[in-house]
């Protein structure tokens, strides 16, 4: 059991909820996966553990309420990502319109500017912002290269 999971067990139990094997397995999937996952993705990864989809949704809703994870809505699909141990709690997402990949933009300068915008809005509007989502959509580098390759093949024919 890793340090992060031990800490999350304490967060769950201190909130008055049971720490169950199912909850821990769901958290392990989220912690150990660098991609954004839907509830169905998590279900597919845990299918052999006999965890039902309803249990996954209940657990995800609890984790959101405890600020352990956050929801990211992309094209009417809900994805989940870690919030509590995130290196970049405020970051920008990119979705490739060709392959469907969701990519976190982890450029330090861009994220600093993003956080600066959030702080400026808080200051000028007297808000407290605890979450934010920016989504860019387009074609990722890999698909762009595939398109170039296909275009080149068509020219060669």
Annotated binding site for Zn(2+): 96, 99, 140, 143
The CA dihedral of 70, 105, 93, 91, to the nearest 10 degrees, is: 40
Residue holding tokens 């929801």?
Answer: 71
Check residue 36 and report its DSSP letter: -
Strand-pairing partners, residue 78, are: 73
Binding residues: 96, 99, 140, 143
How far apart, in whole angstroms, are the C-alpha atoms of residue 56 and residue 38? 10
């Amino acid at each position: 059991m890793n340090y992060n999971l031990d800490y999350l067990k304490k967060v769950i139990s201190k909130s008055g909820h049971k720490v169950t094997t199912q909850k821990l397995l769901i958290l392990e999937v989220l912690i150990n996966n660098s991609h954004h996952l839907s509830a169905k993705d998590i279900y597919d990864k845990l299918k052999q553990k006999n965890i039902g989809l309803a249990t996954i949704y209940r657990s995800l809703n609890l984790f959101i309420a405890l600020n352990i994870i956050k929801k990211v809505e992309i094209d009417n699909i809900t994805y989940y990502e870690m919030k509590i141990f995130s290196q970049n709690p405020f970051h920008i997402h990119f979705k490739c319109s060709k392959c469907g990949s969701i990519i976190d933009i982890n450029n330090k300068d861009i994220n600093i500017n993003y956080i600066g915008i959030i702080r400026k809005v808080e200051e000028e509007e007297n808000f407290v912002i605890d979450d934010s989502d920016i989504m860019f959509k387009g074609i990722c580098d890999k698909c762009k290269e595939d398109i170039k390759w296909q275009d080149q093949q068509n020219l060669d024919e």
